[in-house]
Chain A
Amino acid sequence: MASLTEIRWHGRGGQGGKTASILLGKVAAKTGRNIQAFPEYGPERMGAPVLAYNRISEDKITVHCQVTEPGTVAVLDPTLLDVVDVTQGVPAEGKIIVNTTEDPTALKEKLGFDGEVWTVDAYGISTEEIGAPFPNTPMLGALVKATGIVPYEGFLEQVKKEFEKKFAHKPEVIEGNLASIERAYQEVKK
């Protein structure tokens, strides 16, 4: 399965890591690819470290085990870096994208990680665009930029369609989330 991409999302309970993984999975599925999006359920509660995963592949995906060597990692909260080893199992050619105001070069050194480290201020962006720090949608935009996992062309439209289903009862949040994705896509840097 040469085309297989595996992604691990680190978040805190309530930040929408699971939602981001599902959103990415659904959008990738629309591009004709095979996908999995699944959270790791534990004794999660608001604020506790939680995990979600994606597998995206041109080929059929049959495995149903956990992702242990993700090529891409997204970290939704910078304080997780002190409590979780986000580099665990990530190969040297992997990518880690972190919601932080820190400089990527400094963070790369701090993590002791050989691959690419990207950073974006997802809290800042979502606070300005949505009115509260919801890091999941800007991190989705940042991840798409860093990985090119789905073509940006058409990506926003597809996300909008998913939002229209998901937020049928509160459409007022759609615009801010889309703006967050767009800004994070532009602002994420390595």
Chain B
Amino acid sequence: MSNQVALTGNEVMAQAMRQINPDVVAAYPITPQTAMVQLFSQFVADGKVDTEYVTVESEHSAMSATVGASAAGSRAMTATAANGLALMWEVLYIASGTRLPIVMPVVNRALSGPINIHCDHSDAMGARDSGWIQFFAENGQEAYDNAIQAVRISEHEDVRLPSIVNLDGFIISHAVENLEILADEDVEEFVGDYQADNYLLNSEDPIAVGPLDLQDFYFEHKMQQAVAASNVKDVVLEVAKEYEEISGREYGLFEEYKLDDAEVAVVALGSTTGTAKAAVDNLREQGVKAGLLKIRLYRPFPAEEIANALKDLDAVAILDRADTFSTTGGPVYIDTRAALYDSDADLEVVNYVYGLGGRDIKVEEIESVFEDLQQIAETGNVEQKINYLGVRE
């Protein structure tokens, strides 16, 4: 049984956390994540969850306390955004390297400076090599669904890696949209009880967590982490199938929107993919074979599958809501180009960095990208590989 509601992204993520009912949450408020942890702390105060809520004085402490709680054997969560995630940086690696299945919503916001509170993906992209699994969502519904599935994926015995569940700041976190939330008992049953194999508070079998690990074993442990990351894709698909049974909603590694017979397409992640769908629909009405590939699982990157989905296109544009300042394009562009290098695809790949600091991206702007792609497909001529969309010169 599910429930039709109209909630903001932050509200529905607080509901997901309530339904997951973690043993421990340690969180520090930061715009635009604040409402999520504020609502959740109200659930704690009202006795709606069994969670031990740890108030901390910074995000570094939030992640440290979450790592401690998870290492102790509990199901632990936190949530953050932007500079909060940046402040967690060193502890992120400890969480993934210690193989702790923490789940953390991140409400995407531009990193300072200049100081800005609005949406882009510079925060999440800063953590892209931290060993965390990362999911992106088009809307609040997907963020909610990803959060619940992430618990199972992170805790899976073949994975045991932490997950970041991204949702776009303000655009999703503060917008009310129609949603369907699952019944509490369905989520309870789906996530199940968490039983860690090896944990600090097991007096029967005492272990040390996080000891010095030098030349003799560090590398082997990192190798195990790499193997775990390579297992993620299969587990994501397996959990998605089970989730579909209780929710009726289908998930994969990415969504292909009118991509089957497409000649030109964009690749994107986050809330912009919804706007891109409207652009694709408009172009289809004009007879343009346009499509969209919406990435759901960004880390680990499903390179082979994405290359395979794109290979028959004439031209593709990768939309990045973050820059790398490497002069070689945005992060999703770099990943996608690398993926295509090993495939037998013969297509032009161009990059559009857009929406930094919350700059609005309109349907017409995405349509203009498709116009560029048609031009490229026709002439085989790429004037500029890396473009900045919607910026004043």
Across-interface contacts of A38 in B (CB, < 8 A): 170-171, 174-176
Q: Are A41 and B275 in contact (CB under 8 A)?
A: no
Q: Is A36 among interface residues, defined by CB-CB distance under 8 A?
A: yes
Q: Is A39 among interface residues, defined by CB-CB distance under 8 A?
A: yes
Across-interface contacts of A26 in B (CB, < 8 A): 6, 176
Looking at A22, A25, A37, A63, the one whose CB has the most chain B CB atoms below 10 A away is A63
From B6, B178, B272, contact of A64 by CB (8 A): B272
Q: Is A34 among interface residues, defined by CB-CB distance under 8 A?
A: yes
Q: Is A83 among interface residues, defined by CB-CB distance under 8 A?
A: no
Q: How far is the CA of A140 from the CA of B362 in the complex (A)?
A: 28
Give the number of chain B interface residues (Cβ < 8 Å): 26
In the complex, the chain B residue whose C-beta lies closest to that of A30 is B6
Q: How far is the CA of A39 from the CA of B118 in the complex (A)?
A: 13
Q: How far is the CA of A41 from the CA of B31 in the complex (A)?
A: 11
Instruction: Knowing A29-B6, A66-B360 are in contact, say whether A41-B175 is a contact too (CB < 8 A).
Output: no
Q: How far is the CA of A13 from the CA of B127 in the complex (A)?
A: 35
Q: Are B361 and A41 in contact (CB under 8 A)?
A: no
Q: Are A65 and B175 in contact (CB under 8 A)?
A: no
Give min CB distance, B175 to chain A, whole Å: 4
Q: How far is the CA of A34 from the CA of B176 in the complex (A)?
A: 10
Q: Are A64 and B275 in contact (CB under 8 A)?
A: yes
Q: Are A62 and B278 in contact (CB under 8 A)?
A: yes
Q: Is B271 among interface residues, defined by CB-CB distance under 8 A?
A: yes
Q: Is A86 among interface residues, defined by CB-CB distance under 8 A?
A: no
Q: How far is the CA of A38 from the CA of B170 in the complex (A)?
A: 8
Q: Is A68 among interface residues, defined by CB-CB distance under 8 A?
A: yes
Q: How far is the CA of A36 from the CA of B4 in the complex (A)?
A: 14
Q: How far is the CA of A105 from the CA of B274 in the complex (A)?
A: 40
User: In B176-219, which residues have CB < 8 Å from any A CB?
Assistant: 176-178
Q: Is B172 among interface residues, defined by CB-CB distance under 8 A?
A: yes
Across-interface contacts of B160 in A (CB, < 8 A): none
Across-interface contacts of B117 in A (CB, < 8 A): 41
Across-interface contacts of A30 in B (CB, < 8 A): 6
Other than A25-B176, A64-B175, A64-B271, give 4 A-B pairs with Cβ distance below 8 A.
Answer: A37-B175, A38-B174, A38-B175, A65-B362
Binding site for A on B (CB under 8 A): 4-6, 117-118, 138-139, 168, 170-172, 174-178, 271-272, 274-275, 277-278, 360-363
Sampled A-B contacts (26; CB under 8 Å)? A25-B6, A29-B5, A29-B6, A35-B6, A36-B175, A36-B176, A38-B174, A39-B174, A41-B118, A41-B170, A41-B174, A62-B138, A62-B274, A62-B275, A62-B278, A63-B278, A63-B363, A64-B139, A64-B168, A64-B271, A64-B272, A64-B274, A65-B360, A65-B361, A65-B362, A68-B362
